[in-house]
């Protein structure tokens, strides 16, 4: 394309420059004017940039990565895409003086159209921006169809462009495969990816084929492809995410957690990924990783469009569970920090009464974990007063009300509330699972059936002395029903049998301690109380024999 034609393209585009330095904004603006742009706005902060993008449409955005206080360029791009304030038809170019591996990979994960490092000269910017703009213009109608979710139209436009010129044939192939994937047409997507790989071992084609095969249930080949990408360059975050999804599909949650943890190390600012890691750690009974992940979700959520007070509640609630019955100085420090996090959440969302309410319910759980029953009851009552004032409390808040009732030993009221919630949310599987997980025994028929099935499987394996397999079954069971007294004691009993046979008690230390912690408030009149005491004695004897207590 002739330079005069490129200038004409600039002339039709509205541009925005985002940088916290006045002289840089001025310099970039002069450069764009020289290139042919006539409509160039500037923003000095992320807040200004967000407001301007929501007020009007921009065709080109040049955004510095480091914008001082508030969101950085990566978070600006993430939120603009999330809010659909910046569509695919807009060109976003990240500019930065930083070149740290962590920052670059994090920025690239949000998929800017280009990435330019400082110092920038007029010649270097023109070269990069001209190339990106010409390509963008050629693919504009396709991107517009994608923005409108007209995937069929996008496919037709790809074919049309490929028929007219071959320069962007590779880009069109890549987009076609993605569109077939989005339409659920996995065989068509697979065919395109395999065709591309026959030409050259493109990373994008390997990732795309791996993702497509995963969606189609072809896990082994998908794993090999994704692993080949990581072997070539371990920094491809998407490959780790897809492997985690693959392992989860195989119910190998330990491997899924490991892959997700690697992804967070490579690109640590993804709030949603930290949440996924916390959930996986919870399933794997890895309390420390769970707490750390929720704290990271809180940290990186501060300037993210994905910020949620639920991260704070999840974190504080988990701390309450871990320090329950622990009067050590470390446990008290953790409880205090969890309390402070609740206070910060309330201050951060001052207009949201449900946040203040839920914070009180979680505060009650922390007080109870430290044996402060009077304070726990007071916090629960304050939360209840706020709860009663809301027309329709959110589901998670209602569950925390039930948790607060359980923590303050109001079991009958808790069961009544949980039964009511079960009726109101009969069609919501996730909510039902949480309800059953809070009760000492499942309240729903589905929960009772699953508990009985898992118990039968575990006991059968135990009777055949297949203790390792029985541990796996009961571990899965307590993941679904963490408060179930019988399941927790079954798991402890199997661990004891495995430890006596293989002398490997330490391998399961976190797991059996967690189980005993879950049921430590068992009433002396409960039918399982004598068994609980006996198993505690057995564990204590084994710990004494291995010196395990000295390593706690």
Distance of CA 304 to the CA centre of its chain: 13
What does the pLDDT average to over 408-421? Answer: 90
Q: pLDDT tens digit string along 209-221?
A: 999 999 999 999 9
CB 167 within 8 A of CB 153: no
Residue 501 CB partners (closer than 8 Å, separation 6+): 465, 467
Hey, what CATH class is 3-138 in? alpha beta
Tokens 């985690």 belong to residue: 244
pLDDT at 104: 59
Q: pLDDT tens digit string along 487-506?
A: 999 999 999 999 999 888 88
Q: pLDDT tens digit string along 290-344?
A: 999 999 999 999 989 999 999 999 999 999 999 998 999 999 999 999 999 999 9
pLDDT at 551: 39
Confidence of residue 196 (pLDDT cuts 50, 70, 90): very high
CA distance 464 to 466: 5
- Gap between the terminal Cα atoms of the chain: 70
Among the ranges given (26-30, 151-155, 537-541), the one the predictor scored with the smallest mean pLDDT: 537-541
CB 90 within 8 A of CB 110: no
Residue 67 CB partners (closer than 8 Å, separation 6+): 18, 19, 20, 45, 46, 49, 73, 76
CA distance 416 to 422: 10
What does the pLDDT average to over 540-546? Answer: 84
pLDDT at 315: 98
What does the pLDDT average to over 263-277? Answer: 93
pLDDT at 550: 39
What does the pLDDT average to over 79-99? Answer: 88
CB 512 within 8 A of CB 539: yes
Residue 46 CB partners (closer than 8 Å, separation 6+): 18, 67, 70, 71, 72, 75, 76, 303
Q: pLDDT tens digit string along 385-409?
A: 999 988 888 888 999 999 999 999 8
Domain 3-138 and domain 445-551, same fold? Reply is no
pLDDT at 100: 54
Helical spans, DSSP H, in 237-394: 237-249, 253-266, 271-283, 287-301, 309-322, 329-348, 353-369, 373-388
Is it the case that residue 111 has pLDDT exceeding 60? yes
Residues composing the chain = 552
Q: Does domain 445-551 have CATH number 1.10.357?
A: no
User: Mean pLDDT score of the chain, rounded to an integer?
Assistant: 92
3-class DSSP state of 185:
coil
Is it the case that residue 253 has pLDDT exceeding 60? yes
pLDDT at 552: 41
CA distance 408 to 75: 41
Is it the case that residue 207 has pLDDT exceeding 60? yes
What does the pLDDT average to over 436-442? Answer: 85
- Per-domain boundaries in the chain: 3-138, 308-439, 445-551
pLDDT at 101: 56
Is it the case that residue 450 has pLDDT exceeding 70? yes
pLDDT at 244: 98
The region, left, alpha or beta by phi > 0 then psi within -120 to 50, assigned to residue 70 is: left
3-state helix, strand, coil in the chain (%, to 5): 70, 5, 25
Q: Does domain 308-439 have CATH number 1.10.3470?
A: no
CA distance 113 to 77: 11
CB 280 within 8 A of CB 240: no
What does the pLDDT average to over 535-543? Answer: 92
pLDDT at 548: 55
Identify the H or E element spanning 18.
strand 14-18
CA distance 362 to 395: 14
CB 244 within 8 A of CB 223: no
């Amino acid at each position: 394309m002739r330079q005069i034609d490129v200038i004409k393209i600039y002339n039709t585009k509205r541009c925005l420059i985002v940088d916290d330095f006045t002289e840089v904004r001025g310099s970039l603006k002069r450069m764009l004017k020289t290139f042919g742009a006539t409509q160039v706005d500037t923003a000095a902060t992320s807040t200004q940039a967000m407001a301007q993008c929501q007020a009007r449409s921009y065709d080109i955005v040049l955004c510095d990565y480091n914008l001082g206080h508030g969101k950085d360029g990566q978070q600006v791009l993430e939120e603009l895409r999330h809010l659909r304030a910046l569509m695919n038809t807009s060109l976003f170019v990240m500019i930065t003086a930083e070149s740290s591996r962590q920052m670059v990979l994090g920025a690239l994960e949000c998929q800017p159209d280009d990435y330019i490092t400082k110092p920038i000269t007029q010649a270097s910017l023109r070269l990069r921006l001209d190339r990106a703009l010409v390509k963008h213009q050629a693919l504009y109608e396709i991107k517009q169809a994608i923005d409108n979710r007209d995937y069929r139209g996008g496919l037709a436009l790809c074919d049309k462009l490929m028929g007219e010129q071959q320069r962007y044939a590779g880009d069109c192939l890549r987009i076609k495969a993605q569109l077939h994937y989005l339409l659920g047409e996995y065989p068509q997507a697979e065919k395109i990816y395999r065709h591309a790989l026959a030409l050259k071992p493109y990373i994008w084609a390997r990732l795309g084929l791996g993702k497509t095969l995963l969606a189609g249930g072809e896990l082994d080949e998908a794993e090999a492809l994704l692993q080949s990408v990581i072997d070539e360059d371990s920094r491809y975050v998407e490959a780790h995410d897809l492997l985690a999804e693959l392992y989860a599909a195989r119910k190998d949650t330990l491997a899924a957690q490991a892959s997700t943890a690697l992804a967070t190390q490579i690109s640590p600012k993804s709030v949603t990924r930290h949440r996924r890691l916390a959930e996986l750690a919870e399933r794997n009974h890895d309390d420390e990783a769970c707490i750390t992940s929720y704290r990271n979700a809180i940290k990186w959520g501060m300037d993210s469009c994905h910020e949620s007070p639920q991260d704070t509640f999840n974190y504080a609630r988990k701390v309450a569970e871990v320090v329950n019955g622990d009067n050590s100085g470390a446990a008290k420090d953790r409880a205090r920090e969890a309390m402070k996090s609740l206070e910060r959440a309330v201050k951060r969302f001052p207009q949201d009464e449900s946040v203040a309410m839920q914070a009180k319910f979680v505060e009650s759980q922390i007080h109870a974990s430290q044996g402060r029953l009077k304070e726990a009851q007071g916090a629960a009552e304050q939360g209840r007063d706020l709860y009663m004032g809301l027309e329709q409390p959110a589901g998670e808040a209602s569950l925390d009300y039930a948790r607060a009732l359980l923590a303050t030993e109001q079991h009958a009221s808790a069961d009544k509330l949980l039964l009511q919630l079960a009726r109101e949310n009969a069609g919501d599987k996730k909510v039902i699972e949480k309800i059953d997980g809070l009760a000492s025994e499942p309240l729903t028929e589905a929960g009772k059936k699953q508990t009985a099935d898992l118990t039968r499987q575990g006991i059968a394996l135990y009777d055949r002395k297949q203790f390792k397999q029985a541990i796996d079954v009961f571990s899965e069971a307590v993941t679904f029903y963490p408060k179930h007294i019988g399941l927790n004691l079954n798991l402890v009993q199997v661990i004891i049998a495995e430890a006596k046979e293989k002398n490997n008690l330490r391998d399961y230390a976190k797991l059996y301690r967690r189980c005993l912690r879950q049921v430590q408030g068992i009433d002396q009149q409960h039918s399982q109380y004598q068994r609980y005491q006996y198993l505690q004695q057995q564990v204590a004897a084994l710990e004494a024999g291995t010196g395990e207590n000295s390593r706690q």
